[in-house]
């Protein structure tokens, strides 16, 4: 709990600074983060190899091992995705839903950062850089809690992210990883109302259900996976209905 509280308090301070960061500053930080991911390739892959060895020893399913595995091409793709986020329009300050009342009063909405975003996700290390980039772009600090199977790799990725943030004048506490083990840590995180402004679970239906049922913080629920079925005219309708 000490680690969680310390990082939550630091995230709050970082969020206040990030909320007023310019578009140029955030984009520069994202470019630096992408470069740092590539520059730290050897360290990240070495850390990921530790996670892979533990996963294989534990008998993790091959499909899950594939999600966990990093290689130079996948790391370059992660950096590419961070750069792609930098190229997106800055949502902060966007004016929308403008209306004029009958009495001439003009009303509009303005997008602002949420503050501190907590993300709970499973053993997919690419999610670490993805959500970090999206939070930086939208002016939010991030507290990440990834699956314990990807712990070493996630630590190395967040270290690289910190190296990208610092030279651009953004707090290194903008993106933090909770390293403590145990599901009870997630439960504690879900009760940090007043420190974390919103929780986003990213993973399977079980994880999403657990977070939604146990959080005292507002939750943004994501989809549990690809849930579409295409039925061709030549398909068996009864079989399609069972699917």
Euclidean distance between CA atoms 94 and 90, whole angstroms: 8
Rounded mean pLDDT of 11-28? Answer: 96
Q: What's the pLDDT at 223?
A: 67
* pLDDT tens string 160-182: 999 999 889 899 999 999 999 88
Q: What's the pLDDT at 226?
A: 63
**229 band by pLDDT with thresholds 50, 70 and 90:** confident
Euclidean distance between CA atoms 222 and 213, whole angstroms: 14
The percentage of residues in the chain with a pLDDT greater than 70, rounded to a whole number, is: 98
* pLDDT tens string 72-131: 999 999 999 999 999 999 999 999 999 999 999 999 999 999 999 999 999 899 999 999
**Over 90: is that where the pLDDT of 240 sits?**
no
**132 band by pLDDT with thresholds 50, 70 and 90:** very high
- Do residues 163 and 40 make contact, with C-beta atoms less than 8 angstroms apart? yes
Q: What's the pLDDT at 1?
A: 65
> In the chain, where does DSSP find H-type helix?
2-18, 23-39, 41-57, 62-68, 72-86, 126-137, 151-165, 183-189, 205-214, 237-242
- Do residues 219 and 212 make contact, with C-beta atoms less than 8 angstroms apart? yes
Domain map (residue ranges) of the chain? 2-89+112-224
Name the CATH code of domain 2-89+112-224 (choices 3.40.190.10, 3.40.50.970, 3.40.630.10, 3.40.605.10): 3.40.605.10
Q: Would strands 95-100 and 106-110 be described as parallel, antiparallel, or unpaired?
A: antiparallel
At 116, is the secondary structure helix, strand, or coil? strand
**Over 90: is that where the pLDDT of 243 sits?**
no
Closest residue by Cα to residue 179 from 19, 48, 2, 3: 3
Exposure string over 140-167, b if 16+ CB within 10 A, otherwise e: bbbbbbbbbbbbbbbbbbbbbbbbbbee
Closest residue by Cα to residue 94 from 110, 79, 72, 105: 110
**Tokens representing 40?**
């730290």
On average, the pLDDT of the chain sits at 94
Closest residue by Cα to residue 70 from 124, 13, 9, 27: 124
């Amino acid at each position: 709990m000490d680690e969680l509280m310390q990082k939550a308090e630091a995230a709050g301070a970082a969020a206040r600074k990030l909320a007023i960061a310019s578009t140029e500053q955030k984009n520069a930080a994202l470019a630096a983060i992408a470069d740092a991911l590539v520059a730290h390739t050897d360290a990240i892959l070495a850390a990921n190899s530790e996670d892979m060895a533990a996963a294989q020893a534990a008998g993790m399913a091959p499909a899950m091992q594939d999600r966990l595995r990093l290689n130079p091409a996948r790391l370059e793709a992660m950096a590419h995705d961070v750069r792609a986020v930098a190229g997106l329009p800055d949502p902060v300050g966007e004016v929308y839903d403008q209306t004029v009342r009958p009495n001439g009063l003009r009303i509009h909405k303005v997008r602002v950062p949420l503050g501190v975003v907590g993300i709970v996700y499973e053993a997919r290390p690419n999610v670490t850089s993805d959500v970090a980039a999206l939070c930086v772009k939208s002016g939010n600090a991030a507290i990440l809690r990834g699956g314990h199977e990807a712990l070493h790799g996630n630590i190395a990725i967040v270290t690289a992210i910190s190296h990208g943030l610092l030279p651009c004048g953004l707090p290194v506490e903008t993106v933090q990883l909770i390293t403590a083990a145990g599901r009870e840590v997630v439960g504690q995180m879900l009760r940090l109302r007043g420190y974390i402004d919103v929780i986003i679970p990213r993973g399977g239906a079980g994880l999403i259900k657990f977070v939604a049922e146990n959080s005292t913080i507002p939750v943004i629920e994501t989809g549990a996976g690809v849930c579409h079925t295409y039925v061709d005219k030549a398909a068996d309708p009864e079989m399609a209905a069972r699917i």
